[in-house]
Amino acid sequence: MNLMKRFAKDESGATAIEYGMIAALIAVVIIGVIGIIGTRLESKFNNIAENLS
């Protein structure tokens, strides 16, 4: 019975899951920002290439 009480009060697993969710959210934001920057850079380079030719 004492083991079950300790298991119910143990929050270390929940903390690890929370850190994992935060890391996943940061990764999604970084991927989105890189996608936006990549699109804008592609547009700039295409504009420069058109002006050079």
pLDDT for res 3:
78
Number of folded domains that form the chain: 1
Q: What is the pLDDT of residues 1-53, one digit of tens each?
A: 687 777 777 766 778 888 999 999 999 999 999 999 999 999 999 999 999 97
Q: What is the pTM of this model?
A: 0.61
**Residue 48 sits in which domain range?**
3-52
Give me the DSSP letters along 22-53.
HHHHHHHHHHHHHHHHHHHHHHHHHHHHHHH-
Give me the DSSP letters along 6-20.
HHHH--HHHHHHHHH
Q: Among 37, 35, 32, 12, which residue's Cα sits nearest to residue 24?
A: 32
